[in-house]
Amino acid sequence: MRKIIIIFTILVGIPSMAQNRSMLLQRINEIKNQSDVFLWDQFTHSDADSAKVYVTKRLLATINRGLEENEKLSVEGIMPFASYIYIDRGKMKQCFAYIRKTDFSTIGNTTMPFVPDAFVQRILLTKDFMSVYRLLQSLQSQGDILQFGKLKDVDDYSSFDLILFDMNSQEVITMLSSETPSGKRINLVNGSEDSLDNYPTKMTAVIWYIQK
């Protein structure tokens, strides 16, 4: 009888664990697309504390990239300003970490370096053309993307943001904003002024999109 009770308890707990994991994943995907999220990343490790340290180091590497040597931060310096979500992955623990813009602005007198927004980061992590295309389809069905398509489908794409791909590797090269009044675009990956003309047409595939 005791064995039966134990087995029953385990079986009842499995759907609950799966539902909880699904809810956490949904929450994480929502956070990735929030405009006030300054930076996010994730890391999986057998030890939860190690996963937290490693994902914080990844955040730190991105932050320190745009800072002078005397401005660089430490893991301990940004950890109190980061939020963490843990998900069980079998015997592994995935740690998702993010920092909101309002939280980052309170870290000392550090000047905020340019970091791609959450949507751009998500596209960059998705990497290849077909995966990005499927992601955009999913986001459109959820209402997060209003429209997207190929350049040949429209006559005027000056008001659209763009995702550029290398036609050989099929991977994302960069992302550009809609045109400014001067006719230039802003590189959404590094924040610099850029133009579609800087990328050879024969080597580049482009998807335009309109965010909600």
- For residue 161, pLDDT over 90 is answered with yes
Q: With bands split at pLDDT 50, 70 and 90, how would you rate the model's confidence at 164?
A: very high
Per residue in 176-200, pLDDT tens? 999 988 888 999 988 888 999 999 8
Q: Identify the CA nearest to 167 among candidates 196, 134, 206.
A: 206
Higher pLDDT: 16 or 22? It is 22
Q: Identify the CA nearest to 163 among candidates 191, 196, 212, 203.
A: 196
Q: With bands split at pLDDT 50, 70 and 90, how would you rate the model's confidence at 210?
A: very high
Q: Cβ(42)–Cβ(56) under 8 Å?
A: no
Q: What is the pLDDT of residue 180?
A: 86
Q: Cβ(210)–Cβ(147) under 8 Å?
A: yes
Going from N- to C-terminal start, the domains of the chain cover: 37-115, 119-211
Per residue in 70-107, pLDDT tens? 778 888 888 888 999 999 888 899 999 999 888 776 66
197 exposed, middle or buried (CB, 10 Å; 0-12, 13-18, 19+)?
A: exposed
Give the C-alpha separation, 45 to 52, whole Å: 9
Which residue do the tokens 């009842």 mark? 12
Picking from 9-18, 23-32, 113-122, 154-163, which range would have the lowest pLDDT averaged per residue? 9-18
